[in-house]
């Protein structure tokens, strides 16, 4: 009689341990789902960068010489995006930290005259504002430069509410 009672007690204990682990696993899944990181929103704007300087380039200049001139000009624009004063101005205008602005990526698009301004953060509206502000500030920074013309050709659109 004691053996059957002991066996029943052991089975009951095993069932409770199984129940405990199932409950623990369920709570872990719920916690993981609630703490799962949000996907970062990617916002992009595009600039076209043109060299207005023909100094040193004759009308018969080769295509490679023209390309090299355009790449140098694009490099100036990309370099300017990393200027701490420009970043501080953008940060102040948006009410964010300069560190947040410094995370905006500015890079050339292949072998073209385009420069892409991109931000990847959790807040899609802020990502769009950051990208557009940096793109606009870069265009303004070169407004009076006699050798470079920078135009914003694509802006980042803030997300549309879903219905």
Domain residue limits, the chain: 1-36, 41-154
How high is the mean pLDDT of the chain? 81
CATH level 3 topology of 41-154: Alpha-Beta Plaits (3.30.70)
Cα–Cα distance, 52 to 44 (Å, whole number): 26
DSSP 8-state symbol, 50: E
pLDDT digits (tens, 9 = 90+) for 132-142: 999 999 999 99
pLDDT digits (tens, 9 = 90+) for 56-85: 656 666 777 777 888 888 999 999 999 999
Instruction: For residues 140-145, give the mean pLDDT.
Output: 94
pLDDT digits (tens, 9 = 90+) for 115-129: 999 999 989 999 999
* Residue 38 clears pLDDT 70, i.e. is over it: no
Please tell me the pTM assigned to this model.
0.71
Cα–Cα distance, 124 to 161 (Å, whole number): 11
């Amino acid at each position: 009689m004691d053996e059957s009672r002991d066996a029943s007690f052991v089975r009951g204990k095993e069932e409770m341990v199984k129940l405990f682990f199932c409950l623990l696993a369920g709570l872990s899944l719920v916690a993981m789902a609630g703490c799962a990181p949000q996907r970062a929103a990617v916002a992009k704007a595009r600039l076209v960068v043109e060299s207005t300087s023909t100094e040193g380039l004759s009308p018969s200049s080769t295509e490679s010489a023209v390309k090299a001139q355009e790449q140098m000009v694009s490099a100036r624009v990309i370099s300017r995006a990393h200027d701490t004063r420009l970043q501080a101005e953008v940060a102040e205008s948006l009410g964010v930290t300069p560190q947040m602005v410094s995370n905006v990526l500015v890079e050339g698009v292949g072998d073209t005259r385009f420069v892409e301004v991109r931000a990847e953060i959790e807040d899609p509206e802020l990502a769009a504002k950051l990208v557009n502000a940096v793109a606009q500030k870069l265009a303004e920074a070169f407004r009076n430069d006699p050798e470079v013309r920078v135009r914003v050709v694509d802006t980042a659109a803030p997300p549309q509410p879903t219905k």
